[in-house]
Structure 1
């Protein structure tokens, strides 16, 4: 069976590799940089992301006060997201969203991110996330756009989702091709054990010519990094083709928590709910404490609040924290969603421990974003990104050399 399958897998690996090489090289290079997104963004735009306290012991303002100050300065947009976790020395970022115009169409604001000094409430600047025409302040967000959508928005996102799906398949095809062919005389006492015959696939032949070294870098490099390459490929499908491929497949294999995004949209956005931001925060804290007791987790800190005036009959509030159910180093996604007028609990979402499918996705996406295990894993994922670039290059070199050899016959 393996002998009949191998020639077919050779074709799959060859043409998939040639098709994907350019995309994967770009994804690997940008991904290696995005491991350090926050640091690079602060380096490129210190005037936006750095905040100096007026005095060494100056306290930071309440996050909702910062959000209110931004809203007052941008009456033509809606500050629907408020960060609840502030970092000393760093600006707070408030997201702006468009408001319906007289014709009912959303009027997108010219900039959708506003940066605020958390000590004084002073607006430090703004930007349209990912718009490289604004210059250096959008360099790192633009790299992010290249990474997940080729900076082509939905069309590019779908294209890279297809690339990720082909990459997932090619991960298995490439790994299979490294396996040794079965011995004809398996019962011979002198037959070399299978693992020993597979061992050369994991090694580099140094000093035996550049072609053999390039071939070994491609084969062994793919084997040593295979687990993370598969994680990157399949998690990319989860990011870019979640409705089309990932969710339908994974939902047949694993349980998932109910998706609150299925709620019907409100007929008109409710921009002035009965629960204002301060009251909603108190309700969120109370609901989260109740859920912590029911599900046996602890709350480590608030992360953000979101008001979506278009969901449900009255709009919804989303209150998000970092809890013991979160596995990421820097962010939390444990959340409760409740009615914006009544405070009725509508949905609870736990990143791990509630449903196997959600736990798997949390692990996949957290590994992809290098959001686990601190600096050592971030360094590892930087190396994995570089490895993706090198595997793409070495694969192309192998194909060119073999084609030249065929043409020389």
Structure 2
């Protein structure tokens, strides 16, 4: 029995060592880039006044008009992020520019002055410092293949953390010593303590960050299993609809008012304009209690010609599977904790 247990620990120790040696540099890279991305909006905005979310200094219709005037040849939809901090710029994404066709997610991004609506910055995703760091963190600059690499690395890192915890786990009488760094120890013991003890204190946080990051990198690996015990709710989007003939009748302000009537206490975070083959407005809002503050899940789709409300997503009606995926990003970046 003892021999079998010793063999098990020897095998586990080998797994822990080689996983650590293989993944250490990648883990450091992801940790550094992820730490920067937690604060990238504040850093990118130059630590502007961060007052509470307030009414826009300009109307949404003026924002849409400014985007159309700045890029008149782009007739497709714009996805506009409304600022949640005073004096923060207005950011808009044109999702499928011809210049980046075939690159996956690579929208054109415009950043507008919140008062004059002058274009402050114009770039494609991956060309600015922060979007390049995003690509490095989420795909290792390798596109879909990078997501798969991160998925495999994430699973191996979970093995690394789990094996380390099992190897450390002390007997009942050894807990006090197992949690303390021994003073005056020889250098080998000191190195061991500096590796093990801090790791034990942050292992639960590390498990959450790694697991949520892995699930976001390769969600299709996890959805079948989660959907088996808790089926996902159909998003209920607008589906295929005939394109508009001419300019949309409904303005941005009316679309937001229609969405606000459906979720009267929610705060609008994004609006997506009609254009091209998309004949509707999409308004993305945050209700009280939603964990994701920047990318909330309350959404309303409104026909741009008739003003009819054509689809709604209400996260308060989530299944358990829906909620698991809604919590991934805010748990990963700490947003869920405020």
Q: Please indicate, yes or no, whether the TM-score normalized by the shorter chain is above 0.5.
A: yes
The residue number in structure 2 matching 1:40 is 43
Normalization by structure 2: what TM-score? Answer: 0.82
The residue number in structure 2 matching 1:398 is none
Partners of 1:306 and 1:355 in 2: CA distance: 26
Is 1:321 aligned to residue 317 of structure 2?
A: no
Matched residue pairs, number?
A: 326
Alignment of 1:352-363 (within 5 A): 354-363=318-327
Q: Choose from 219, 228, 236 the match for 2:196.
A: 219
Partners of 2:176 and 2:94 in 1: CA distance: 56
Q: 1:357: Cα distance to partner?
A: 2.3
Q: Measured at CA, do residues 123 and 252 of structure 1 come closer, stay the same or move farther in structure 2, by a change above 3 Å? A: same
Partners of 1:156 and 1:271 in 2: CA distance: 41
The residue number in structure 1 matching 2:53 is none
Partners of 1:72 and 1:285 in 2: CA distance: 27
Q: Choose from 244, 254, 260 the match for 1:285.
A: 260
Q: Measured at CA, do residues 158 and 219 of structure 1 come closer, stay the same or move farther in structure 2, by a change above 3 Å? A: same
Gaps of 5+ in 2: 50-55
Q: 1:353: Cα distance to partner?
A: 6.3
Partners of 2:43 and 2:37 in 1: CA distance: 8
Moved more, 78-87 or 145-154: 78-87
The residue number in structure 2 matching 1:73 is 70
Q: Measured at CA, do residues 332 and 210 of structure 1 come closer, stay the same or move farther in structure 2, by a change above 3 Å? A: same
Normalization by structure 1: what TM-score? Answer: 0.69
The residue number in structure 2 matching 1:404 is none
The residue number in structure 2 matching 1:348 is 313
Q: 1:83: Cα distance to partner?
A: 2.7
The residue number in structure 2 matching 1:231 is 208
Partners of 1:106 and 1:315 in 2: CA distance: 24
Q: Choose from 148, 165, 181 the match for 2:138.
A: 148
Partners of 1:248 and 1:7 in 2: CA distance: 34
Partners of 1:119 and 1:173 in 2: CA distance: 54
The residue number in structure 1 matching 2:155 is 165
- Secondary structure at 1:207's aligned position in 2? coil
Give per-residue Cα distances to partners, 1:227-278, cap 9 Å, x unaligned: 11111111112211001x12122222334322457x7666879885564534
Report the RMSD for the aligned CA atoms in angstroms. Answer: 3.4
- Secondary structure at 1:143's aligned position in 2? helix
Q: Measured at CA, do residues 206 and 340 of structure 1 come closer, stay the same or move farther in structure 2, by a change above 3 Å? A: farther
Q: 1:209: Cα distance to partner?
A: 2.9
Moved more, 161-170 or 353-362: 353-362
Q: Choose from 25, 35, 38 the match for 1:22.
A: 25
Partners of 1:176 and 1:248 in 2: CA distance: 29
- Secondary structure at 1:147's aligned position in 2? helix
The residue number in structure 2 matching 1:401 is none
Q: 1:330: Cα distance to partner?
A: 5.5
CA contact 1:67–1:94 (8 Å) conserved in 2: no
Rg comparison, structure with higher value: 1
Q: Measured at CA, do residues 252 and 316 of structure 1 come closer, stay the same or move farther in structure 2, by a change above 3 Å? A: farther
Give per-residue Cα distances to partners, 1:339-396, cap 9 Å, x unaligned: 555534334141x66322233333332121121344xxxxxxxxxxxxxxxxxxxxxx
